[in-house]
Amino acid sequence: MVEYDAVIVGAGVLGLATAYHLKSRNPESNVLVIDKFGAAGQGSTAKSAAAFRCFFHSRTNFALSDSSVEFYKHIQNDLEFDLKLRWTGYLWLFDEDEYCKMLPVLKDLASKGLQYVEYEESDLVKKLDMRTDLTDDEEAQLMGLRNVRKGILIPKAGLIDVDSLVKFYESEFMKLRGKIQYNTEAMEVIVESRQPLGIPGEPFFWQDATVAGVKTNRGLVKAKKTIIVAGPWIAKLLDSIGVECFIKAKKRQVFSVKAKTEALKKLLFTKEFTDAGCLPFTIPPTPSAYIRPAPEEDALWLAYADDFPRAFKAEDNPEPEENFYKYGLYQVIVKYFPQFTGCQPFSAFAGLYEINTIDHQPLIFEENGIMVVGGASGSGIMKADAIGRIAAALYKDEEYALLYGDRKFKVSDLGLKDRNIEHEKLVI
């Protein structure tokens, strides 16, 4: 039986970015990627809103997303592989309190050269035909909705075609002679003694044991290094060998509304904010449901990442819930944007966030011969390239990873033992 140098479980965006960087840094190594689905990126990656931003206060967030997005720009502009990057920007709509809280953080970021544009309430009313003052609206008051006082536009932000991004990593990995096997599910992780004695029931607790690969529905896959990049399903594999990863799955839902009326078309294709020819990714005040433009399908996506009391559940096929739209998203969005009055979604989908319950930042660590990469907590697309490079550096036992643009990143900062994450002050 072939023994691979590395087997990567999971061909989502993180698994493939890891595979590509690992193989390009170790061209002679024999690397296999397996995935339970029939093609790449069919897990959370396919369900993403595919938005990115490079505007964070924490060093950790900024390094991971900005270097990744710069690499995506390089793929598109220099390597001429179209990722359909669309610089729509992010538009945050703040109430008075939120704005006052964020102002020092925004000023600090501006002093470091990060750009943003401020809009007054009256500009927003004019440019978006929106309602900013909900004081006299009894229902809005009952729902605790807040008045909009300011808009903050982040220009270095937008949308990416996730399918193309996944194809880039997959095809480049294969050009390097990496192997991929789809429809292959890892059923369990194989643990073996480093010095087997041939006694049934090994390894015993007194033996030095390590992970030696995975047992799949298509047979055993032996590898010197097993790398689990299984997104929201990570814990299913790790729990059975007693490795804690602090990653839990939570359902997230997106509802797509067709821009059928003139008012919705005007909103979707507004040119008031950027050159992208459409609305920015727009986030009204708390509870921060969002509108994601989907100009290629003449639609606007509505979504919200609900927390308490939404259960942690690693479902195989999460379904969108009609009432989540009807009594949740619709009710909130229509108060600010009356253009949505009477709109029903024409399609909807649900996926899973793979949430790191410690600090919502990615986790990249090794324990007992198994490497774990995941927990991007809803921002895995915008951080995938950096995560892949850090995982490749951990594989090579390096202290620092070199992110795109020659930025050094300490590998242990995303580990478990010496974790060093800077708290994010720009929390919307």
Binding status of residue 35 toward ligand FAD by CB under 6 A: yes
Binding status of residue 34 toward ligand FAD by CB under 6 A: yes
In the range 322-351, which residues lie near ligand FAD by CB under 6 A?
A: 351
Q: What is the CA radius of gyration of the chain?
A: 23
By beta-carbon proximity to ligand FAD, the closer residue of 133 and 297 is 297
* Options 45, 60, 339, 356; binder of ligand FAD; rule CB under 6 A: 45
* Options 4, 21, 32, 47; binder of ligand FAD; rule CB under 6 A: 47
Question: CA geometry: angle at 373 spanning 63 and 386, to 5°?
Answer: 25
Binding status of residue 51 toward ligand FAD by CB under 6 A: yes
By beta-carbon proximity to ligand FAD, the closer residue of 124 and 302 is 302
Q: In whole angstroms, how close is the CB of 282 to ligand FAD at the nearest point?
A: 13
Binding status of residue 250 toward ligand FAD by CB under 6 A: no
Alpha carbon distance 283, 40 (integer Å): 30
Q: In whole angstroms, how close is the CB of 5 to ligand FAD at the nearest point?
A: 19
Binding status of residue 12 toward ligand FAD by CB under 6 A: yes
Stretch of 33-41, 74-82, 136-144, 338-346 contacting ligand FAD, by CB under 6 A: 33-41
Stretch of 105-113, 124-132, 370-378, 403-411 contacting ligand FAD, by CB under 6 A: 370-378
* Options 6, 7, 9, 391; binder of ligand FAD; rule CB under 6 A: 9
Binding status of residue 49 toward ligand FAD by CB under 6 A: yes
* Options 7, 13, 128, 235; binder of ligand FAD; rule CB under 6 A: 13
- Separation in Å, CA 269 to CA 17, 102, 294: 33, 29, 10
* Options 185, 306, 315, 367; binder of ligand FAD; rule CB under 6 A: 185
Q: In whole angstroms, how close is the CB of 124 to ligand FAD at the nearest point?
A: 23
Binding status of residue 10 toward ligand FAD by CB under 6 A: yes
In the range 219-248, which residues lie near ligand FAD by CB under 6 A?
A: 229-233, 237
By beta-carbon proximity to ligand FAD, the closer residue of 86 and 149 is 86
* Options 106, 140, 268, 376; binder of ligand FAD; rule CB under 6 A: 376
Stretch of 200-208, 340-348, 373-381, 401-409 contacting ligand FAD, by CB under 6 A: 373-381
Binding footprint of ligand FAD on the chain (CB under 6 A): 9-15, 34-37, 42-45, 47-52, 185-186, 229-233, 237, 252, 254, 351-354, 374, 376, 378-382
